[in-house]
Structure 1
Amino acid sequence: MVYKLKPNRVLRTYLGGSRIDALRGIIAEAGFFPEEWVASVTAAQNVPGDDVIPTGISVIDGGKDDGRPLTDLLRGHPEYLNNECHIAQKSRNNGNIKTLDNPENDKSGEKNADFPILLKLLDSAERLVVQAHPTVEFAKKNFGSRYGKAECWYVLSADEDASVYLGFKKGITREEWKRCFNDQDIETMLSLLHKIPVKPGDVWYVDGGVPHAIGGGCLLAELQEPTDLMVVPEKRTPSGREIPEKRLHGGLGFEKMFDCFEYDGYTIDELRSRYYRHISNDSSDCTTVIGSDLTDKFVMYDCRTENSALELCPEQTRSKPSAAVVISGTGNITDNERNLTRLSPGDALFIPNGERVKMDGTLRILIAFPGNSSSK
Structure 2
Amino acid sequence: MTTAPERPVLLPSNQPANRFYAGGSKIRAFRHEEGSTDHVPEDWVASTTTIFGEADTGLTELPTGERLRDAILGDPVGWLGRDHHAQFGADTKLLVKLLDAGQRLPVHIHPSHEFAQEHLGAGHGKAEAWYVVDGGTVHLGFARDVSATELSDWVREQNVDALLGAMHLLTVCAGDSIYVPPGLPHAIGAGVFIVEVQEPEDMSILLEWKGFAIDGPRHGHLGIGAEKALKATDRHGWSMAELETLLIHDGTGVHTLAAQAGSYFRAEHRSVAGETVLDAGFSILVILSGEGQLTAANGSRAVLAPGLTILTPHNIGNLTITGELTLLRCRPPLGQVPDSI
Give yes or no for TM over 0.5. yes
Match of 1:156 among 111, 126, 133: 133
Is 1:166 the counterpart of 2:140? The answer is yes
Aligned to 1:106: none
State the alpha-carbon separation in 2 of the partners of residues 310 and 256 from structure 1. 48
State the alpha-carbon separation in 2 of the partners of residues 267 and 29 from structure 1. 41
TM-score, L = length of structure 1: 0.80
Specify every segment of 5 or more residues in structure 1 that has no aligned partner in the other structure, as ranges.
Answer: 91-96, 98-113
Q: Which amino acid aligns with 2:249?
A: H
Q: Which amino acid aligns with 2:27?
A: I
State the alpha-carbon separation in 2 of the partners of residues 298 and 366 from structure 1. 13
1:139 Cα deviation after fit: 0.7
Give deviations 1:316-343, integer Å, cap 9, x for gaps. x3xx311112223333322222122233
Corresponding residue SS for 1:86: helix
Match of 2:311 among 317, 332, 350: 350
1:182 Cα deviation after fit: 1.4
Is 1:370 the counterpart of 2:332? The answer is yes
Identity of aligned pairs, percent?
A: 30
Corresponding residue SS for 2:205: coil
State the alpha-carbon separation in 2 of the partners of residues 258 and 205 from structure 1. 21
Is 1:278 the counterpart of 2:249? The answer is yes
Q: Which amino acid aligns with 1:247?
A: H
1:28 Cα deviation after fit: 7.9
Aligned to 1:216: 190
1:363 Cα deviation after fit: 3.0
Distance 1:246 1:329, change over 3 A: farther
State the alpha-carbon separation in 1 of the partners of residues 42 and 259 from structure 2. 26
State the alpha-carbon separation in 2 of the partners of residues 67 and 192 from structure 1. 47
Match of 1:73 among 67, 71, 78: 71
Structural RMSD (CA):
2.3
Give deviations 1:156-180, integer Å, cap 9, x for gaps. 122xxx2111112222111111111
Equivalences for residues 101-250 of structure 1 within 5 A: 114-158=91-135, 162-237=136-211, 240-243=212-215, 245-250=217-222
1:344 Cα deviation after fit: 3.2
TM-score, L = length of structure 2: 0.88
Aligned to 2:51: 44
Aligned to 2:84: 85
Q: Which amino acid aligns with 2:170?
A: I
1:367 Cα deviation after fit: 0.8
Q: Do the aligned residues in 1 keep the contact of 2:109 with 2:233 (CA within 8 Å)? A: yes
Give deviations 1:275-316, integer Å, cap 9, x for gaps. 1122432x5xxx12315355432221222335x3332x32xx
State the alpha-carbon separation in 2 of the partners of residues 249 and 149 from structure 1. 14
Give deviations 1:41-66, integer Å, cap 9, x for gaps. 11122x67xx9xx82211222xxxx1
Is 1:13 the counterpart of 2:11? The answer is no
Distance 1:374 1:143, change over 3 A: farther
State the alpha-carbon separation in 2 of the partners of residues 138 and 348 from structure 1. 32
State the alpha-carbon separation in 2 of the partners of residues 256 and 365 from structure 1. 40
Corresponding residue SS for 1:10: coil
Aligned to 1:109: none
Aligned to 1:265: 237
1:244 Cα deviation after fit: 5.3
Aligned to 1:310: 276
Specify every segment of 5 or more residues in structure 2 that has no aligned partner in the other structure, as ranges.
Answer: 1-6
Give deviations 1:13-51, integer Å, cap 9, x for gaps. 211121111112235864211111211111122x67xx9
Distance 1:295 1:75, change over 3 A: closer
Distance 1:244 1:119, change over 3 A: same
Is 1:332 the counterpart of 2:330? The answer is no
